[in-house]
Amino acid sequence: MPFMFLILAFLMGAVFWGFFHANPHDAPRGRLLACNAAIIVVAVAVALGAALPLHADALAQHPEQRFMAVYLAIMAGGAAVMLVLIAGGLVRNLLLFPRR
C-alpha cells in the first residue's frame, strides 16, 4: 500500500503542476486567480463528497478494518481531485479563456 500512496502522490503532483503550468498567459490575473480558486474549491468539495460516504460505508461494513476504510477514502478523494482539476483546467483553457 505504500507504493500506491507513492503513485497517488506522484500523479497528484503531476496534475497540480500541469494545472498551474497551463495557465493562459493572456488572461486577466484577477479573473484567472478567481477561476483557479473556484476550480480548486470544487475539486476539494467533490473529493470530500466522494471520500466521506465511502469511508463511512466501509467502516459500517467492516469496522475492524479501519485502515482499509481510510485508504479507500484517500484514494477516492485523490482520484476525484485529479479528475476535477483536469476537467476544470480544460474548461478554463478552452471555454473561459480561449486563445485568440
Whether 2 shows a pLDDT value over 90: the answer reads no
43, 80 in Cβ contact below 8 A? yes
**Contact partners, residue 11, CB within 8 Å, separation at least 6:** 78, 82
| Residue 22 phi, psi (nearest 5) | -95, 20
- The pLDDT value recorded for residue 9 is 95
| Residue 64 phi, psi (nearest 5) | -80, -10
How do residues 25-67 score in pLDDT, each as one tens digit?
988 999 999 999 999 999 999 999 999 999 999 888 888 888 8
pTM above 0.85, yes or no: yes
CB atoms inside a 10 Å sphere around CB 48 = 14
Which sequence spans correspond to the domains of the chain? 31-95
What type of residue is 17?
W
Whether 1 shows a pLDDT value over 80: the answer reads no
- pLDDT bin (cut points 50, 70, 90) of residue 100 is confident
Q: How far apart are the first and last CA of the chain?
A: 46
Nine cell digits for residue 22: 497551463
